């Protein structure tokens, strides 16, 4: 006897209406919402006022963030050591490469970066602008100018490059509020309100005469002394940066 095979009829449940759509992400951009829905002339006027207000708020916010970042950077600003002796061997200064290498990491921690813009007018005067920018958008800048200095026998291209480097160095320090003026004689033509953050020590009391400075330089040349080594010793011995700053009481005539 065989069993009768039974089959079950599949039934489908009918649904009514359209599937429920996934919830849309709420749009919090009030300007976009209003611009899509406002059509009347009076509404458009209100929208314009709203946009202007939003722009002002954005600018104020960016300025506040810049000031906060700059204040934090200034409170923890790295100390800049002077890393190079001048060509005449009489003073130290901080090179542009040393400045950027020292400052960039500290600035980056606070969302700050810098860049330069260069220009030259018809008279040959160079203009260099250093722009300090915060990650949120606000920026501030300092501009200095100067003519190419070919007094050292440099051709014009090298004179322009040398002056450009000098201006880049001083605009960077100036926009950060830490540019020295007293000890860098190659920057005596620069002017402006600048505070000193460079690690430097100034002598007190009477210093040696010009004739004594010349004699020291002649002795260094005569005995072929290591000028860098002498100046390094001089800094540690007398707490000065230049030969001209050696205290008169410490000078011994030979």
pTM: 0.57
For residue 25, the model assigns a pLDDT of 44
Pairing of strands 112-120, 139-146: unpaired
For residue 139, the model assigns a pLDDT of 92
Nearest of 188, 162, 190 to residue 95 by alpha carbon: 162
For residue 252, the model assigns a pLDDT of 57
For residue 111, the model assigns a pLDDT of 95
For residue 110, the model assigns a pLDDT of 95
DSSP assignment, residue 62?
H
Whose tokens are 């050292």? That residue is 152
Whose tokens are 């050591």? That residue is 81
For residue 177, the model assigns a pLDDT of 85
Domain boundaries of the chain, sorted by first residue: 38-200, 201-254
What is the enclosing helix (H) or strand (E) of 134? strand 126-134
For residue 83, the model assigns a pLDDT of 74
Residue 148 CB: number of other CB atoms within 10 A?
Answer: 20
For residue 79, the model assigns a pLDDT of 81
Residue 166 CB: number of other CB atoms within 10 A?
Answer: 22
For residue 140, the model assigns a pLDDT of 92
pLDDT in tens, the chain (254 residues): 555 555 555 554 554 445 545 444 444 455 565 565 566 555 667 777 777 777 888 888 999 999 999 999 988 888 887 777 766 666 677 888 989 999 999 999 999 999 999 999 998 899 999 999 999 999 999 899 888 877 666 788 888 888 899 899 988 988 888 854 344 444 433 333 333 333 444 445 688 888 888 888 777 777 666 666 677 667 666 777 677 778 877 765 44
Alpha carbons 209 and 180: distance in angstroms, whole number: 24
Cα angle: 187, vertex 189, 194; to 5 degrees: 70
Question: Are the C-beta atoms of 209 and 200 separated by less than 8 Å?
Answer: no
């Amino acid at each position: 006897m065989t069993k009768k095979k039974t089959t079950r009829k599949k039934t489908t449940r009918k649904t009514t209406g359209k599937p429920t759509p996934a919830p849309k992400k709420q749009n919090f951009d009030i300007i976009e919402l209003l611009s899509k829905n406002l059509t009347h002339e009076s509404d458009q006027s209100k929208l314009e006022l709203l946009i202007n207000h939003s722009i002002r708020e954005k600018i104020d916010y960016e300025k506040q963030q810049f000031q906060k970042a700059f204040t934090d950077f200034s409170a923890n600003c790295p100390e800049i050591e002077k890393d190079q002796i001048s060509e005449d061997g009489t003073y130290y200064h901080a090179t542009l490469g040393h400045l950027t290498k020292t400052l960039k990491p500290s600035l980056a921690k606070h969302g700050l970066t810098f860049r330069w813009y260069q220009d030259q007018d018809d008279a040959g005067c160079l203009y260099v602008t250093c722009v300090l920018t915060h990650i949120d958008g606000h920026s501030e800048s300092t501009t200095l100018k100067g003519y190419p200095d070919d007094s050292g026998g440099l051709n014009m291209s090298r004179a322009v490059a040398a002056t450009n480097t000098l201006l880049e160095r001083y605009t960077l320090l100036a926009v950060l509020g830490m540019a020295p003026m007293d000890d860098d004689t190659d920057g005596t033509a620069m002017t402006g309100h600048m505070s000193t953050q460079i690690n430097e020590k100034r002598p007190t009391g009477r210093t040696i005469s010009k004739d004594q400075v010349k004699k020291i330089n002649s002795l260094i040349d005569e005995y072929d002394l290591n000028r860098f080594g002498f100046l390094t010793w001089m800094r540690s011995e007398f707490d000065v940066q230049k030969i001209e700053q050696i205290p008169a009481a410490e000078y011994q005539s030979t």
